[in-house]
Amino acid sequence: MSMRVTPTDLIPMARGAAVLGGGGGGDPHIGRLLAASAMRELGDVEIVSPDEVPATACVLPIAMMGAPTVMVEKIPSAGQISLALETLARYLGRTPTHVACMEAGGVNSMVPFVAAARLGLPLIDGDAMGRAFPELQMVLPTMSGVSATPMSIVDDKNNKGVFDTIDNNWAERLARSATIDMGCAPIVSLYAMSGSEVRDCFVPGTLSLCLSIGSAIESARAANQDPVEALVGALRGKLIHTGKVVDVTRRTVAGFARGEAVVTGLDAAAGSQLVLKFQNEHLIAELDGEVLVTTPDLIVVVDAETGEPITTETLRFGHRVAVVAAPMDERWHTPAGIELVGPRYFGYDLDPIRFDGTPSEGARLGAC
């Protein structure tokens, strides 16, 4: 199934992408403006399901790398985005047939539309994680043995780099240092894949999911229904808390936005206090000292009234918010998935807990 995406579709899609960002991934707003402008100039973008991609296709994913706190102020150029893709294609000596999205959550849902419009290539409806995570090896293809490299990295000044590393952790390490030198917002193209690899490793349908989530929120608002309830439905998730943000601490460390937020319960949740721990994305939600849900499941903070997702870098004192948890791809709950993105990787000494309160299959890693 393929679908033509117009600049107008990007509005709800970006909202849905901010939801899947789980507070991180960078605000998609600026990316959406850039994508809409490229599409108005060069035409709509066709998104195709992973099923339709020929096995021998040359698929080049593209993303912005860096700290969301910087990304909201430093706008990439459309030229920088296509240059990253062209640099990788040239190094590989291949002609790309499809553009892909690594991270459906946040700004990286929109960046691939710019590349697809400029190169006139179809974009794959899916992504490599189903949400947003802060490091480049934190994707399902890593678990399937797909190499992140060769990867390209291009900054706003047109400095270019290519890394070709022995594993995906080394790719993260070298690209992270370059990202910091390059001002914390370069564009990267990485995890070049065949069509078969995309079918094996991608979470299918995440771009159209973003569109459904965003549309559900908008329709509920238009019909004077509860947008938070609509969001919970679209995500097949669960409302875990509503309340007022009473404290936020955040700092940008080694290219990441880290911190904690405290939400004091209102209405039905009165008397309860939720603590959110984030590193770019929300990773842990703790209600009155009890861990409710952890990475890899999704924790999203939205405006309690409008259902509008709030990123960790814009969260502030006084916000009335609803906190929603939702299940993520099952592969994240395997031991290999938990090793890559479980609470312990981020420095929290906790077993992973799913959105519905059950422990993750990978939780047995905690016994090591």
Indicate the residue among 51 and 164 with the shorter CB distance to a second copy: 164
Indicate the residue among 9 and 155 with the shorter CB distance to a second copy: 155
Under the criterion CB under 8 A, does residue 170 sit at the interface with a second copy?
yes
65 three-state secondary structure? coil
CA–CA separation, 233 vs 214, rounded Å? 12
* Alpha-carbon torsion, ordered 309, 312, 313, 319, to 10 deg: 60
Under the criterion CB under 8 A, does residue 166 sit at the interface with a second copy?
yes
CA–CA separation, 141 vs 100, rounded Å? 13
For the bound state, the minimum distance from the C-beta of residue 29 to a second copy, rounded and expressed in Å, comes to: 29
Residue 341, token pair as written in the block: 């993105």
Indicate the residue among 164 and 356 with the shorter CB distance to a second copy: 164
Residue 134, token pair as written in the block: 């802060």
- Using CB under 8 A as the binding criterion, the count of chain residues that bind a second copy stands at 20
Under the criterion CB under 8 A, does residue 254 sit at the interface with a second copy?
no
Burial letters for 17-34: b for 16+ Cβ neighbours within 10 Å, e otherwise?
Answer: bbbbbbbbbbbbbbbbeb
Indicate the residue among 168 and 280 with the shorter CB distance to a second copy: 168
Centre a 10 Å sphere on the Cβ of residue 114 and count the other Cβ atoms it contains: 29
Of 109-117, 156-164, 252-260, 301-309: span binding a second copy (CB under 8 A): 156-164
**Considering only CA atoms, which of 189, 208, 204 is closest in space to residue 9?**
208
**Considering only CA atoms, which of 322, 329, 287 is closest in space to residue 308?**
322
Q: In the window 104-143, what residues touch a second copy (CB under 8 A)? A: none
How long is the chain?
368
Under the criterion CB under 8 A, does residue 173 sit at the interface with a second copy?
yes
Under the criterion CB under 8 A, does residue 355 sit at the interface with a second copy?
no
Under the criterion CB under 8 A, does residue 177 sit at the interface with a second copy?
yes
Indicate the residue among 33 and 174 with the shorter CB distance to a second copy: 174
Q: Which of 165, 196, 212, 314 binds a second copy (CB under 8 A)?
A: 165
Q: Which residues bind a second copy (CB under 8 A)?
A: 87, 91, 157-166, 170, 173-174, 177-178, 180-182
